Amino acid sequence: EEGAILMAQENVLRRMTESNYPEAAWALETYYTPSYKMSQFVNGEGVVLYHAPAAITDGDTFVHFRYSDVISAGDLYTSDRYPMIDVAKGGTVQGVIDGLNQILEVAVPEFRHQGGTMVIPGHGRIGDSADVAVYRNMVSILRDRIQELIKEGKSLQQIKAFRPTLDYDGIYGSPDKFIDAVYQNLTTTGPAGSR
């Protein structure tokens, strides 16, 4: 009996190998290009994988099931929590924004950004282009707020005390890890901190 097809961006397999994950958990197939179109239908679907580099990690993929017109976004889009950016594994706030924009480029709304392509988040409720755009806007606004506080010379503790996410916390929960990651991204020089 055939199980699920395990595919991943090449960086995922590299990390699993370095971490000595059991081989049985490894992806059977990897890709290294910005997108990868499956060479055959899977369960009656045309499937395209898209790499969102430097988003939650450096190995994020979202998958478009073309016949069903559904995008499985993984943790790139989580409708009920802030992005859990893993800076140590190459994640950046700008990469999350870029990945969300990439989802919006692939998705097709039915009417005025409502309906159409359904987007399945890593956590939370299923949404559409409008929901992804709201989430993308939230991440962009908070990145900009934190950037301004950094420009004012505020420390991480001062920024948290200022509560720049207060108007979103009721929707997305505790912002601490998100603020930590954004602060680290924006105060680090080099590729991880570049915008």
Q: How confident is the model at residue 3 (pLDDT cuts 50, 70, 90)?
A: low
Residue 1 predicted with pLDDT over 50: no
pLDDT at 18 over 90: no
Weakest mean pLDDT among 26-35, 61-70, 144-153: 26-35
Quote the CA–CA distance of 126 and 117 in Å, as a whole number: 11
Average pLDDT for 117-144: 97
Instruction: Give the pLDDT band (50/70/90) at residue 27.
Output: confident
Is the model's pLDDT at 16 over the cut of 80? no
CA 185, 183, 88, 64 torsion: positive or negative?
A: negative
For residue 97, give the 3-state DSSP assignment. Answer: helix
CA 46 to chain centre: 22
Tell me the DSSP string of 112-174: TTBSSSEEEESSS--B-HHHHHHHHHHHHHHHHHHHHHHHTT--HHHHHHH-TTHHHHHHH--
How many Cβ atoms are within 10 Å of 1's Cβ, its own excluded? 2
Q: What is the DSSP letter of 53?
A: T
Q: How far is CA 185 from CA 36, 60, 64, 170, in A?
A: 28, 17, 29, 24
Average per-residue pLDDT for the chain: 89
Average pLDDT over residues 12-35: 75
